[in-house]
Amino acid sequence: MTNRQKEIVRRGYDKLSYDYRNDNAIDDEGFYTEWVNCLKDKIPAESPVLDLGCGCGLPATKLLSEYFKVTGVDFSEVQIGRARKLVPSAEFICSDIADVQFSNCSFAAVVSFYTIIHIPLQEHREILMRIADWLRPDGYLLIIVGHEAWTGFDDRYLGVEGGEMMWSHEGEETYVQWISDAGLRILWTRFIPEGESGHTLVFARKSNNK
């Protein structure tokens, strides 16, 4: 199931990249700007920041790159190809998040918006542990996780015929536990509405003795 789910998600974003976000996309609801501002308040300009599941780079990677030195990771070649053009000041790596390698203590912050929810559930805990290793002592994690546990499939995602997509995630309490187990202190969690449901945004900080 793991590889099949990943293939559905990767091919899905290759196919739906422009349906998900066009080249002129702006942060119309202001959510991303507010989230990026959480980090601007805490981390010096030019600090290294990692954006996991960066998509086409709009709006998050672009907003981050106006202030930080950003590395974006995504396994969809179409998404990464667009991100390289749309956010030329950032660096991009086309890779599965579960495979990408960074040295310990490389980043002042790691962000990941609406991405872990697409990764097979059995990999989440390990990915959170690896993120904790990549963070500098006192570094920040800002991540969108599931609000309630759900696994599902759509063969018409964003209304596109043949646009297959999969999600699998736990609920907020489980992520709070896993992130804490990885050695990060939860600063706050916030419900982010979407349609009739929503996700949870978690802001956490690595303790300086991990």
* 67 binds ligand SAM, rule: CB under 6 A: no
* 146 binds ligand SAM, rule: CB under 6 A: no
For the CB of residue 207, give the shortest distance to ligand SAM in the complex, in Å.
26
The interface with ligand SAM within residues 18-57 (CB under 6 A) comprises 53-55
In the bound state, the residue with its beta carbon closest to ligand SAM is 55
CA 54 – CA 65 distance, rounded (Å): 12
For the CB of residue 193, give the shortest distance to ligand SAM in the complex, in Å.
15
Q: Which listed residue (96, 126, 148, 173) binds ligand SAM by CB under 6 A?
A: 96
Cα separation values, 208 from 27, 137, 139, 143, Å: 33, 4, 8, 20
* 13 binds ligand SAM, rule: CB under 6 A: yes
Positive or negative torsion for Cα 53, 54, 56, 58? positive
- Tokens linked to 172: 């907020």
* 114 binds ligand SAM, rule: CB under 6 A: yes
CA 46 – CA 64 distance, rounded (Å): 10
Q: Which phi and psi (to 5°) does residue 136 adopt?
A: -70, 160
User: Residue numbers of the site for ligand SAM (CB under 6 A)?
Assistant: 6, 9, 13, 53-55, 60, 73-76, 79, 96-98, 113-115, 118-119
